[in-house]
Chain A
Amino acid sequence: MNGLIEDWESLPRVSIAWQTTSASGQPRADRAEAIPLARALAFPVRSRLIVTAADGYLLALTPKDVDSAYLAFLRGEYMLVFPGDTTRRRFVRQPVSFEQG
């Protein structure tokens, strides 16, 4: 992934859990061992970070958002997860690039 340090996958993982609203309205709980994004980034975020996914999805993050984001390996791919985001709106499947915005 562009914008991450070279050995980011070997960083220590932490246990995270989150609960989101599914399309049916029923809460859905998940947990994973994940890497804090702030530790994996190759640069300090100055004003905003733009995340691009393999399918073209774009997300802008503030430095504060970066501190609450994790890279979790789920169902065979990495996903950017925000445990506090109950809507999953900002979850990013297969992020491929992290750039200063």
Chain B
Amino acid sequence: MRIITPQQNLEDAVPSGGVLLPCTLHGAAVGAFLNPPPVCITDVYHRVLALLPRGRVMVIYIDGLGYDLYRRASLPFIRRTFDCTAARSVYPPLTQPCMASMLTGEVPDVHGIFTRRDHRPLVPSLLRVPGSVLIEGDCAPLSLEHPPVLTLPEPGETVDAAVLRAALPHAAGDAPLLIVHFHGLDDEEHHVGDDEKLLSGKLRELDEAVRKLCSAFAGTALLCADHGVHAENGAGAHGSFDYRDMFVPYGEATL
């Protein structure tokens, strides 16, 4: 059984001392976290519900930003504003199961989303919050209580620029809960892997997009990702119990 920390895979080596937290799927362990960070992506759901009575909440969701890449990447605004810590993702680290965990507060065995082909969670999500808005790219990975705002890039525009363009009026508006899903990084990682130098243009774009969103918004912002990515055969892949896939950055900021 593989054991992971936010910094490495330990394969079958079981270190003496330390706390092991099993990660399970269908009731069976797929691996274990050694000295796990206390935060899990399922906490996004619970934090949002706890914060909403105090004011507006914005969730900035960066698809494919693993904690390992976050540590290596140049993300000056995000780092300064959110000072993210490592959070555990869920298994399998794929967009649909992880997004469902972030938005329902449950693990896949409970919400029922296990693969890219599953779309309808079995339990309520944050989209049941009246007036909530989810901004997506060209597709809705999940079918939730109400449809998201779908965006398509204009000629010459990136997918994330289109999401930002759609999100800014809502950030400046009065939706109590705004969830903004940037998926351009994951798309690019599938082509080039997790090398921060090859991804520097996309990371710079995302850092600037987050800065603009935060400038337009007043309330509490949460920044989180669904899963990370590891390099494999010259490209990027995810879905494995690998520290690069299974840990993501998590941070909060009062704006």
Q: Annotate B138-172 by CB proximity to A: 1 below 8 A, 0 otherwise.
A: 11110100011011100000000000000000000
Q: Do B152 and A23 have beta carbons less than 8 Å apart?
A: no
Given A23-B94, A25-B240, residue A55 in contact with residue B143 (CB < 8 A): yes
Q: Do A24 and B239 have beta carbons less than 8 Å apart?
A: yes
Q: Does A4 contact B (CB under 8 A)?
A: no
Q: Do B235 and A21 have beta carbons less than 8 Å apart?
A: yes
Q: Do B143 and A60 have beta carbons less than 8 Å apart?
A: no
Q: Do B120 and A89 have beta carbons less than 8 Å apart?
A: no
Q: Do A25 and B237 have beta carbons less than 8 Å apart?
A: yes
Q: Annotate A47-86 by CB proximity to B: 1 below 8 A, 0 otherwise.
A: 0101001011111111001000000000000000000001
A87 contact from B119, B190, B230, Cβ within 8 A: B190
Distance in Å from the Cβ of A48 to the closest Cβ of chain B?
5
The secondary structure that dominates the B interface is loop
Q: Which B residues are CB-close (under 8 A) to A39?
A: none
Q: Do A24 and B139 have beta carbons less than 8 Å apart?
A: no
Q: Annotate B116-136 by CB proximity to A: 1 below 8 A, 0 otherwise.
A: 111110000000000000000
Q: Do B150 and A60 have beta carbons less than 8 Å apart?
A: yes
Q: Does B115 contact A (CB under 8 A)?
A: yes
A100 to B233, CA, bound (A): 40
B118 closest partner in A (C-beta):
A55
Q: Which A residues are CB-close (under 8 A) to B190?
A: 21, 86-87
Chain B positions near chain A (C-beta within 8 angstroms): 92, 94-95, 115-120, 138-141, 143, 147-148, 150-152, 183, 186-187, 190-191, 230, 232-233, 235, 237-240
Chain A positions near chain B (C-beta within 8 angstroms): 21-25, 27, 48, 50, 53, 55-62, 65, 86-90, 93, 101
Known: A21-B235, A25-B237, A27-B233. 16 other contacts (CB 8 A): A23-B94, A23-B238, A24-B240, A25-B230, A25-B238, A48-B152, A53-B119, A55-B119, A56-B119, A57-B141, A58-B140, A60-B152, A86-B191, A88-B116, A89-B95, A89-B116
